[in-house]
Amino acid sequence: MPERRRVNVRAILADKDLRRALMVPTIQAIQAREGIETTREQAERAYYVVTETERAAFFELERFKGGKKGEQDKRHEMFVKSLRGEQKGVRHDIARRDFSAIDGSPLAFERVGIVAPIFRESPALDPSLATAVVGLQTSNDERFVRCWWEVLADNRGQGKAWVPFAKGGEFSRFYADIHLIVDWQNNGEGIRNFEGAYIRNEQHYFKPGLTWPRRTQRGFNLRVLPAGCVFADKGPAIFPSDESKTFYILGIANSAPAEFILQGLMSFGSWEVGVIRRLPVAQASTKQAERVATLAKAIHDAKRDWDSGNEISTSFERPWVVRRADTKSLSYALDGVLEAEARAENQIQSTYNDLNAEAYSLYAIPDATRAQIEKSLGERPPEVVWPQMEGQTTEQKRMEHVWRLLSFAVKRVLDADDDGIVPFNRSTGETPLAERVRHELAALFPECDESQLEVEIVNELKRSVKGYRKCASLDDWLVNAYFAYHAALYKSRPIYWHVASAQGTSPCAFGALVHYHRFDKNRMAKLRASYVRDTIEELRRDAGLADKAGRSDDRVELQAKLEEVQALDKKLQLIQEGHHEGAEGGDRDFRILTPWKEPAKRPNGWAPDLDDGVKVNIAPLDRAGLLRASGVAG
């Protein structure tokens, strides 16, 4: 019978090294099973004891980076000092109860001491004040999403085939135009039947609210969502329980303290709905809420007013440079609009500063903590009325105003033309583009002498400004700069196409602007039969006259131009007939390609369906090399 031994369990359990005595051999045994020999010293390094205390210690690892080569490594000394409380800014002791004050207990130790009281005292945005949700995911935007200008006005809007679609976009707090539309024909039948699409929270579609881009590196930016829109998974939405609180929520959520709070909740650089729902919204008296709402609305309204000078905005009226009552000269108008922009931006930045002050007060954040928050946030994006030109020089903004003015004049010409085809030369007997643009400019500056106005325009175009092509004349700008600029301005979905016999900036024997909305099979036929062939006949006649007169150099030049335009006509014919050979989508495929459609519904030859979008319909001309600038709808 084995000898019985008395074991003092109490003494064993009281041994402060018991855990180590048990864990170290266990670690060695586990490693041995994997074929790894582990010394006792190595096992002890892998052994930790976690003790539950009232406060948790955090160490800033950034401070423990190695020094320069050759310098003494002081990291061990710094760590020991931080344990003793002798090294500031390395160790942070945070009360554990502060973490539990925040739903989900995110481990944002640098912020938790500041924000925990806010979470205890302020209700979460959702469900106390609003509902925050994700929306539609088409899973095929090329098929179902367009820019608003691609589709005719009669086919856009709630209850029609295409409806406004909020899908994130560029950074812009308080206001951003909804420039996208989504296919909602027959209540979204096409999307509903598309495998992979997700229609989420449909009960909130078309309601007014707030929306934001889910992914942005520049910070959270909430903006107004007008009534009549569908919103996206990448452009989630907030719907206040009380619509009168919309601008209060807009103001608070866009404030600096709110962004500081949200940064502590987010992960992976994405402002997910789950994060935004947890935002604590400061409780305010009626007077305080009205003050914040008034400030937020003032910024929103200022931005929207400025956007009415943006040609691609849904609220566009006229370019900024001609919105002044006094248009006695272009230079005067340019100086005035630049001053007006600077004043507007100073005003909205001042208003935003006031809004931040109100938010800090409502969250009961003292000045010392405010300084800490603002240091943590770093330099935040400023409030600007023209986001597309943020960070640009005064010279660049001035030139952009000139190009926008000329772009508007071209737009007026194309929109007013009977057939939507405007030639660059006189060979067709029709007034050429440049002459019509001059007429429009004169109408926009009625107090200015026409000749003097053109001198001013050309002087501006001749200036060397980064990002802008230097042009010798108005004609030079129209022929060699306009189309590429128009395509870029219209987000690679141009609606005024420069059909040309030569690409780039080389001399061009034939060119015409065509209006996409009217360039159907009949207009294609007219372009060839009237405009192109009239030019061919004129060149053939002039070449013959030059030959008879013995002007051989002129005859050679005219013959080259004739062959250039004939080649253009031949390619237009191939597009008109839908000719194709070789690989689908190759440079010998002149069809409009719509693979998602049933074969019987695909275009036969040049028969564009505007609902298919600019990218699809412009492609045959681009592949054929018939556009003045190539690859504009990439």
Question: How confident is the model over 579-623, as pLDDT tens digits?
Answer: 999 898 888 999 999 999 999 999 999 999 999 999 999 999 999
Cα–Cα dist 142/138, whole Å: 9
Average pLDDT on 283-289 reads: 96
Question: Looking at residue 633, what is its pLDDT?
Answer: 86
More confident residue, 23 or 310: 310
Question: Looking at residue 563, what is its pLDDT?
Answer: 97
pLDDT tens digits along 254-273: 999 999 999 988 866 789 99
More confident residue, 79 or 290: 290
- Cβ atoms < 10 Å from Cβ of 549: 10
User: What average pLDDT does the chain have?
Assistant: 90
Cα–Cα dist 87/80, whole Å: 9
Question: Looking at residue 106, what is its pLDDT?
Answer: 59
Cα–Cα dist 480/50, whole Å: 71
Confidence of residue 253 (pLDDT cuts 50, 70, 90): very high
Of all residues in the chain, the percent with pLDDT exceeding 90 is 75
More confident residue, 23 or 489: 489
Exposed, middle or buried, 154 (CB in 10 Å: 0-12/13-18/19+)? Answer: exposed
Contact 322, 447 (CB under 8 A): no
How big is the CA angle at 350 (ends 349 and 351), to the nearest 5 degrees? 90
Question: Looking at residue 39, what is its pLDDT?
Answer: 83
Alpha helices in 468-528 (DSSP H): 474-480, 482-489, 521-526
Query: Taking 80 as the threshold, does the pLDDT of residue 8 lie above it?
Result: no
pLDDT tens digits along 385-410: 999 999 999 999 999 999 999 999 99
Cα–Cα dist 52/608, whole Å: 70
Cα–Cα dist 154/378, whole Å: 47
Instruction: Using DSSP bridges, classify how beta strands 130-133 and 145-147 pair: parallel, antiparallel or unpaired.
Output: unpaired
Residue entry with tokens 């600019």: 614
| Residue 93 identity (one-letter amino acid) | D
Question: In the chain, how many H helices and how many E strands?
Answer: 24, 13
The full 3-state SS of 385-405, as one line of letters, equals: CCHHHCCCCHHHHHHHHHHHH
Query: Taking 60 as the threshold, does the pLDDT of residue 46 lie above it?
Result: yes
Query: Taking 70 as the threshold, does the pLDDT of residue 2 lie above it?
Result: no
Lowest mean pLDDT: which of 23-27, 150-154, 232-236, 237-241?
A: 23-27
Question: Looking at residue 424, what is its pLDDT?
Answer: 96
Cα–Cα dist 137/611, whole Å: 19
- Cβ atoms < 10 Å from Cβ of 359: 24
Residue entry with tokens 């707090």: 173
**421: enclosing H helix or E strand:** strand 421-423
More confident residue, 371 or 97: 371
**514: enclosing H helix or E strand:** strand 511-515
Contacts 24+ apart (CB under 8 A), 362-368: 362/252, 362/282, 362/283, 362/284, 362/288, 362/292, 363/118, 363/122, 363/257, 363/282, 364/117, 364/118, 364/121, 365/114, 365/118, 365/257
Of all residues in the chain, the percent with pLDDT exceeding 70 is 89
Out of 40-49, 62-71, 293-302, the most confident range is 293-302
Query: Taking 60 as the threshold, does the pLDDT of residue 107 lie above it?
Result: no
Question: Looking at residue 323, what is its pLDDT?
Answer: 85
Average pLDDT on 49-58 reads: 64
How big is the CA angle at 293 (ends 228 and 338), to the nearest 5 degrees? 85
pLDDT tens digits along 539-567: 999 999 998 999 999 999 999 999 999 99
Average pLDDT on 173-178 reads: 98
More confident residue, 621 or 66: 621
Q: Is 136 helix (H, G, I), strand (E, B) or coil?
A: strand
pLDDT tens digits along 430-450: 999 999 999 999 999 999 999
Average pLDDT on 315-334 reads: 89
Query: Taking 60 as the threshold, does the pLDDT of residue 474 lie above it?
Result: yes
Question: Looking at residue 235, what is its pLDDT?
Answer: 97
Average pLDDT on 21-28 reads: 79
Cα–Cα dist 108/399, whole Å: 46
Exposure of 219 in the CB half-sphere (CA atoms within 13 A)? 22
